[in-house]
């Protein structure tokens, strides 16, 4: 009996589906990566017929893929697509979805692996999962011949440790771990994966990737845009839940991990988990000195944002790891909306050489700056190195040389979703978050929420399109360091 794949996409009229998933599906087909076209059941709350839905996504795909759009590819995708509107609370919706899937099995004369993709705000997760279970659409795999279900679920998984654990209980009562694909699209990004190549394939990098040589590490995810039309999602979520708990801690794990035995799913996930386990918790009383939160001016006037909202749109934090490799090396993390520019970058700042030995100084100390190895994730992606060199002219004055190998802004964001969809179809979980990673990162973040609740540190206002509150500079300047963006 032939096998094929079906996607049941909840949240089919949402931002994520429209701007990321559909363009990713389009590219996968256009580039010949999905030879067996999956059957796609799109589920959304908005009432519309299939023609209207097609137009809705087609416009977004054309906008995204530009001149690469061809009608024949689009039509082939649409031949395998259905749209079904309904409320997620309504059991009838699931009965209809089930019969659509059954009909298709009869048409194709085969069994389908169903991928349930929850591209919806997390408040709907439990409702959808319970209804899927009641409709007998999901259940733990019991035998190789049974049509099996898989779950693709977007972050944030919960709001804190307790809600995340509750959600994990629901999910794990319905799916075995190998059926669950927790998406953190930063794991799908080429440059994040490139950290592994950079570290483990270069004789000059890995030997110096430790506290003997590194002074500190910075991880930044800065966005020029404010919350725009996403106020309803973002308000009450905030920067810590939206990107620190997941994307930024995942980047940290890639930087901080020990060498995995291999790059297979089990070993790579284990290495990330060990790194997160080594993260020193920020105790409730240390939150005011180690974490800075801010909100851009004008945020409370954004659509669907509470006028008295205390949601943070900026957060900077200083963290440390309890391993021999990283003992004494602070990691500074900074993220914000409505920043001066959009850039995601990791930088490793090397210790300065000893230019002064006793009374003899080869170079005047202030001229010597730290070497920096920068890994740019967006908008362009690549690697940069700050070295010291001689200023042209008489004397031996120094200047910085910024060497870099950057690729132009490209399809890196879409590529992340393409890669993840493809990996899920192949059953490769390497680039998906394991339940233990999610748990550890919530454990760490929840202590910060607790510190905010009990210690009530200030929520600093900052001007839109700046680098955030001054207090975030203070976090580094007290350690005689400063924020760095390569070549900016």
Contact present, 1 and 110 (Cβ < 8 Å): yes
Q: Name residues whose C-beta falls within 8 Å of residue 144's C-beta, 6 or more positions apart in sequence.
A: none
Residue 227 beta carbon to ligand BG6: minimum distance, rounded to whole angstroms: 8
Among 168, 215, 235, 242, binds ligand BG6 (CB under 6 A): 242
Q: Which of residues 176-215 bind ligand BG6 (CB under 6 A)?
A: 185
Binding mask 356-385 for ligand BG6 (x = CB under 6 A): ----------------------x-------
Catalytic choice (19, 185, 216, 247): 247
Residue 309 corresponds to which tokens in the numbers above? Answer: 């909202």
Identify which of residues 242 and 434 has a Cβ nearer to ligand BG6 in the complex.
Answer: 242
**114 labelled catalytic:** no
Identify which of residues 137 and 183 has a Cβ nearer to ligand BG6 in the complex.
Answer: 183
Return the closest-CA partner of residue 309 out of 229, 238, 240.
Answer: 238
Identify which of residues 242 and 302 has a Cβ nearer to ligand BG6 in the complex.
Answer: 242
Strand 149-154 with 180-183, pairing: parallel
Binding mask 136-175 for ligand BG6 (x = CB under 6 A): ----------------------------------------
Residue 110 beta carbon to ligand BG6: minimum distance, rounded to whole angstroms: 35
Residue 157 beta carbon to ligand BG6: minimum distance, rounded to whole angstroms: 12
Return the closest-CA partner of residue 319 out of 247, 216, 246, 250.
Answer: 216
Q: What is the torsion angle, in degrees rounded to the nearest 10, for the CA atoms of residue 474, residue 475, residue 480 and residue 486?
A: -100
Residue 237 beta carbon to ligand BG6: minimum distance, rounded to whole angstroms: 8
Task: Find the DSSP H helices in 409-434.
Answer: 412-426
Among 243, 251, 255, 333, binds ligand BG6 (CB under 6 A): 243
Residue 124 corresponds to which tokens in the numbers above? Answer: 């709907």
Identify which of residues 159 and 185 has a Cβ nearer to ligand BG6 in the complex.
Answer: 185
Contact present, 467 and 461 (Cβ < 8 Å): no
Among 241, 413, 414, 486, binds ligand BG6 (CB under 6 A): 413
Is residue 223 a contact residue for ligand BG6 (CB under 6 A)? Answer: yes
Handedness of CA 363, 364, 365, 366 (dihedral sign): negative
Residue 225 beta carbon to ligand BG6: minimum distance, rounded to whole angstroms: 7
Helix (H, G, I), strand (E, B) or coil at 135: coil
Identify which of residues 105 and 160 has a Cβ nearer to ligand BG6 in the complex.
Answer: 160
Q: How many helices (H) and strands (E) does the chain have?
A: 16, 17
Surface-to-core class of residue 366, CB atoms within 10 Å of its CB (0-12 exposed, 13-18 middle, 19+ buried): exposed
Q: Active-site residue numbers?
A: 247
């Amino acid at each position: 009996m032939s096998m094929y794949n079906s996607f049941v996409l909840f949240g089919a009229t949402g931002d994520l589906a429209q701007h990321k998933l559909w363009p990713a599906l389009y590219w996968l087909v256009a580039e010949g990566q999905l030879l067996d076209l999956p059957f796609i059941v799109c589920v959304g709350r908005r009432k519309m017929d299939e023609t209207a839905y097609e137009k809705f996504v087609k416009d977004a795909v054309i906008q995204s893929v530009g001149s690469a759009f061809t009608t024949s590819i689009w039509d082939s995708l649409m031949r395998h697509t259905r749209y079904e509107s309904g409320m997620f609370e309504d059991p009838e919706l699931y009965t209809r979805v089930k019969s659509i899937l059954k009909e298709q099995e009869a048409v194709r004369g085969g069994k389908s692996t169903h991928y349930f993709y929850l591209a919806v705000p997390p408040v709907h997760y439990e409702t959808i999962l319970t209804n899927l279970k009641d409709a007998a659409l999901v259940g733990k795999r019991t035998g190789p011949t049974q049509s099996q279900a898989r779950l693709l679920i977007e972050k944030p998984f919960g709001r804190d440790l307790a809600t995340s654990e509750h959600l994990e209980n629901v999910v794990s009562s319905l799916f075995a771990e190998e059926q669950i694909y927790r998406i953190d699209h930063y794991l799908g990004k080429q440059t994040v994966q490139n950290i592994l190549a950079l570290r483990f394939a270069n004789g000059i990098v890995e030997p110096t990737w430790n506290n003997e040589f590194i002074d500190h590490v910075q991880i930044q995810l800065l966005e020029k845009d404010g919350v725009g039309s996403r106020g309803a999602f973002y308000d009450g979520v905030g920067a810590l839940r939206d990107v620190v708990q997941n994307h930024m801690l995942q980047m940290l794990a890639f930087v901080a991990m020990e060498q995995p035995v291999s790059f297979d799913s089990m070993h790579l996930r284990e290495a990330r988990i060990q790194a997160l386990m080594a993260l020193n918790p920020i105790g409730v009383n240390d939150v005011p000195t180690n974490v800075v939160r801010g909100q851009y001016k004008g945020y409370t006037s954004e659509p669907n944002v509470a006028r008295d909202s205390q949601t943070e749109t900026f957060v900077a934090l200083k963290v440390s790891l309890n391993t021999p490799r990283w003992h004494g090396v602070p990691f500074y993390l900074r993220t914000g909306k409505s920043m001066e520019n959009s850039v995601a970058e990791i930088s490793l700042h090397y210790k300065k050489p000893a230019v002064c030995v006793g009374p003899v100084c080869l170079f005047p100390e202030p001229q010597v700056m730290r070497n920096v190895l920068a890994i740019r994730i967006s908008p362009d992606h690549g690697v940069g190195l700050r070295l010291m060199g001689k200023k042209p002219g008489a004397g031996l004055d120094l200047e910085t040389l910024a060497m870099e190998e950057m690729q132009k802004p490209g399809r890196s964001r879409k590529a992340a979703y393409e890669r993840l969809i493809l990996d899920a179809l192949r059953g490769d979980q390497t680039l998906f978050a394991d339940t233990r990673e999610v748990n550890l990162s919530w454990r760490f973040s929840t202590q910060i929420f607790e510190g905010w609740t009990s210690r009530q540190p200030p929520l600093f206002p900052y001007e839109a399109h700046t680098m955030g509150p001054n207090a975030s500079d203070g976090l580094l300047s007290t350690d005689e360091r400063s924020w760095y963006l390569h070549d900016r």
